[in-house]
Amino acid sequence: MLWEKALESIRTSVTADVFSLWIEPLRCREVSDDSIVLAAPDPYFSAYVTRHFHETIERAVTEAGAVPRR
């Protein structure tokens, strides 16, 4: 699956602590047309991840085969 491929890439891009705290809690909510929608535990978590890891996640998802959408 696309998100699992992206996770493996992200895991090599961030520290283990960052991965377990900020990336692992994200859930893939939707996959369509080679893109994904992620869900975060709450809006504050989502805002933090967007602010600090958006580029890392987008790059990993694109490398895994998705079309980025904003």
Would the pLDDT of 65 be above 80? yes
Model pTM score: 0.85
Residue 61 backbone class (left: φ over 0; alpha: ψ -120 to 50; beta: rest) = alpha
Asked if the model's pLDDT at residue 22 lies above 60, the reply is: yes
Mean pLDDT of the region 16-41: 92
Mean pLDDT of 21-36: 89
What does the alpha-carbon distance between residue 41 and residue 26 come to, in Å, rounded to a whole number?
Answer: 7
Residue 13 pLDDT > 70: yes
Written as six digits, the tokens of 56 are 């890392």
What structural domains and CATH numbers belong to the chain?
Answer: 2-63 (3.30.300.180)
Provide DSSP, the chain.
-HHHHHHHHHHHHS-HHHIIIIITT-EEEEEETTEEEEE-SSHHHHHHHHHHHHHHHHHHHHHTTPPP--
